[in-house]
Amino acid sequence: MTQETEFDRLLADKHISQAAFQHKTDWVFDLDNTIYPAASSLFPRVAERMTLFICEELGLNAEDAAALKTRLFRTYGTTMHGLMKEYNMTPDAFLAFVHEIDLSDVSEDAELDRLLGQLGGRKHIYTNGTVRHAERILEAFGIRQHFDHIFDIVASDHIPKPNPAPYDIFLAQTGIQPEQAVMIEDMARNLEPAAKLGMGTIWLVSDHDWAHKGASEDYVHFIAEDVKHCLTALSNAG
């Protein structure tokens, strides 16, 4: 079976259905590669600054720093978590540096603004990044006003998704009832703890990486191509 056929089958099987979302009151969006498509150039800018930070802090050349970044990300879920575990780094300087990306070429997105406005209920951001990063991205796209809580890696005690611990902190801090909430993410495995807590889940393909780990698991309830397709399907469902 070709990748495209497999993707089409997954998308058809888990196409957003009306009934599933009728009584939902809270929409929990991941930020990076979810609010904007993975194919955009934005997240690579963060990754580039991670490499630069590692070069400077550990005195490595760019190639070794990039390899270390990738290994730490794969082992620990985030590069920062790996730097804390293996190099005893404190997270603040890393988080501040890597998220200070150039957004001068990002313009407001009227369609995204309209689609978010059509979706009833409260909207939140749950990110492995920082509040400042989330606010800069949301403001650049002109959609900051749609979101209530922004829950970040600092609020998570620096424990990244998909570790289940910060999901509990998130629900406790926000008072969101999991049965009435839906989580929307580009990393399928980050949806597993949400589904276990009783939340609905939507995985965004966002690029051609259809075989993303966990995408065919039962904890992925629905699939959409990207955030705009998702919001369009949800507003049609309402």
CA-CA-CA-CA dihedral for 133, 169, 226, 16, to nearest 10: -160
Which helix (H) or strand (E) covers residue 135, if one does?
A: helix 131-141
* Residue with smaller CB distance to Mg ion, 55 or 146: 146
Among the listed ranges 23-31, 97-105, 133-141, 158-166, the one in contact with Mg ion (CB under 5 A) is: 23-31
By residue count, the chain amounts to: 238
d(CA 229, CA 226): 5
Is position 152 an interface residue for Mg ion (rule: CB under 5 A)?
no
Q: Taking the complex as a whole, how short is the minimal distance between the CB of residue 122 and Mg ion, in angstroms?
A: 20
Residue 194 backbone zone (phi > 0: left; psi -120 to 50: alpha; other: beta): alpha
Residue 2 CA to chain centroid, in angstroms? 27
Residue whose CB is less far from Mg ion, 133 or 221:
133
Residue (55 or 134) nearer to Mg ion, CB: 134
Q: Which span (22-30, 81-89, 162-170, 225-233) binds Mg ion, by CB under 5 A?
A: 22-30
DSSP-assigned letter for residue 219:
T
Residues 24 to 53: which contact Mg ion by CB under 5 A?
30, 32-34
# binding residues, Mg ion (CB under 5 A): 5
Which residue's CB is nearer to Mg ion, number 26 or number 30? 30
Residue 125: phi and psi, rounded to 5, are -115, 135
The two three-digit tokens of residue 159, written as one number: 């424990």
**Cβ of residue 36: shortest distance to Mg ion, in angstroms?**
10
**Residue 38 or residue 115: which is nearer to Mg ion going by CB?**
38
Q: Is 226 a binder of Mg ion (CB under 5 A)?
A: no
Please identify, using beta-carbon distances, which residue of 42 and 65 lies nearer to Mg ion.
42
The CB-of-179 to Mg ion minimum distance in angstroms stands at 24
Cis previous bond, 162, omega within 30:
yes
186 forms part of the interface with Mg ion (CB under 5 A): yes
Among 109-117, 145-153, 182-190, 223-231, which window interacts with Mg ion (CB under 5 A)? 182-190
- Cβ-contact 202, 230 below 8 angstroms: yes
E strand or H helix at 98, and its extent?
helix 91-98
Site residues (vs Mg ion, CB under 5 A): 30, 32-34, 186
